[in-house]
Amino acid sequence: MIDINLIRTNPNLVKENIKKKFQDQKLPYVDEVIALDAKIRALKQEGDELRASRNALSGKIGLLMREKKIAEAKEVKATVVKNNERIVEIEAEEGKLSEELKKRMMAIPNIIADDVPIGKDDSQNVPNEYFGDAKVPDFEVPYHADIMERFNGLDLDSARRTSGTGFYYLCGDIARLHSSILSYARDFMIDKGFTYCVPPFMIRSDVVNGVMSFEEMANMMYKIEGEDLYLIGTSEHSMIGRYKDTIVKEDSLPLCLTSYSPCFRKEVGAHGIEERGVYRIHQFEKQEMVVICKPEESMDWYNKMWKITVDFFRSLDIPVRTLECCSGDLADLKVKSCDVEAWSPRQKKYFEVGSCSNLGDAQARRLGIRYKTDKGSVLAHTLNNTVVAPPRMLIAFLENNINADGSVNIPKALRGYMGGKSVITPKK
């Protein structure tokens, strides 16, 4: 949610930003917000004047009664009653208009950074930097689900019986590899100076509305029936929500946090051959990083954060690139975002394994996250970035570390978490 003062003072900038995001259907919201805001402010002024008049008249009634001016006192009382009735009407009307204003404000996208490429959808995202040599071995790399099954490491059939499509059982060395990567990611981030957290895996609707747009919520979140709780789609949701209605001490910033959680997503509209295995699923685990900082520091942290993910993947011998998200692919709360994509030797292309986002003060404004300065309280900036999210990440890991005989190399960084093994071999 953007600052309403920006809409008041520069509505054309807000409209131009909406056009850059190819959301022209939202253009009327700007004028509607201006009109609603004017009505609300007029009502507030009228209410304040009536309250001031009521207070003055109330004092006058006592004086008139002491002077035995009963008739005049009754007339003043009638005016006070009339004023009170109008104040009740104003408060009701103001509340209704404020809700209408909030709905439109929540739908207007955040102002994107000046250097965000303009494009309608993810097909127009822009490849940025490349890290590591993207190689294709001289043998055929099997489909990732087939690699896992040769280790007796993946059981999709049983998961379909227990839970439906989009779920899985991981077993044996593959399950151990999955857990080892998460443990390594935890320690990797702690060594980077981030504080490790395990957050709640369910959050209330007011937190959901604070961290994401309505469209994202509808497409992602699972609702707990009969309760005001949602399963998190990423630990960023509950990590940012932790600071709801909080004034953080300035000298505690930046808050650099890394969190583990399971994640649950509807993945509405998911389809395609690459989603037969564990590419697009309803349940996965994730190591996340979250930073809450001063506005002037947020872009520096944005660049630091995606570089950390690149370093993590390169430590596991996986080539990656960054992909700059274009305007039409940015979620409404985001100022700037890039994906980290891993190389797939089998597909001979890169695919998404993480995303880094700067949300400016949008989440902080919705949730009331501030820090105190000598000049008063200031809205903080929030950022989030994926460290690693297996089992999708296992696709890149297995394809880039597999040998011709089907065995999989374990990079040095991971061996301590895999019982000292330098290689794992298939069962069949």
Beta strand 126-131 pairing with 376-379: unpaired
In CATH, which superfamily holds the domain spanning 4-107?
Answer: Serine-tRNA synthetase, tRNA binding domain (1.10.287.40)
pLDDT reported for residue 273: 41
Find out whether 322 and 355 touch, Cβ atoms under 8 Å.
no
Domain ranges for the chain, please list them.
4-107, 122-424
Task: Give the H or E element holding residue 34.
Answer: helix 27-66
Which residues does 44 contact at the CB level (< 8 Å), separation at least 6? 94
> What's the token pair of residue 24?
């022209």
Please state the φ and ψ torsions of residue 229, each to the nearest 5 degrees: -140, 145
> What gap in Å lies between CA 83 and CA 56, rounded to an integer?
12
Find out whether 101 and 36 touch, Cβ atoms under 8 Å.
yes
Q: pLDDT, tens digit, for every residue of 360-393?
A: 999 999 999 999 998 889 999 999 999 999 999 9
> What gap in Å lies between CA 259 and CA 282, rounded to an integer?
19
Q: pLDDT, tens digit, for every residue of 175-195?
A: 999 999 999 999 999 999 999
pLDDT reported for residue 69: 76
Q: pLDDT, tens digit, for every residue of 85-102?
A: 899 999 999 999 999 999
Find out whether 339 and 322 touch, Cβ atoms under 8 Å.
yes
> What gap in Å lies between CA 406 and CA 426, rounded to an integer?
6
**Cα R_g (the chain), whole angstroms:** 28
pLDDT reported for residue 330: 94
Mark 262-290 as b/e (b = at least 16 C-beta within 10 Å).
ebbbeeeeeeeeeeebbbbbbbbbbbbbb
Task: Give the H or E element holding residue 261.
Answer: strand 255-264
3-state secondary structure of 308: helix
> What gap in Å lies between CA 82 and CA 94, rounded to an integer?
18
Please state the φ and ψ torsions of residue 233, each to the nearest 5 degrees: -90, -15
Beta strand 195-197 pairing with 255-264: parallel
> What's the token pair of residue 301?
């942290």
Give the full edge-to-edge strand order of the sheet including 349-358. Answer: 126-131, 320-324, 336-344, 349-358, 381-388, 283-293, 255-264, 195-197
Q: Which residues of the chain have pLDDT under 50?
A: 271-274
CATH number of the structural domain 122-424: 3.30.930.10
Looking at residue 10, what DSSP letter applies?
-
> What's the token pair of residue 253?
């910033």
Residue in 391, 310, 305 with CA at minimum distance from that of residue 343? 310
Name the burial class of residue 63, with classes exposed (0-12), middle (13-18) and buried (19+) by CB atoms within 10 angstroms of its CB. Answer: exposed
pLDDT reported for residue 213: 77
Please state the φ and ψ torsions of residue 51, each to the nearest 5 degrees: -65, -40
> What's the token pair of residue 10?
């520069």
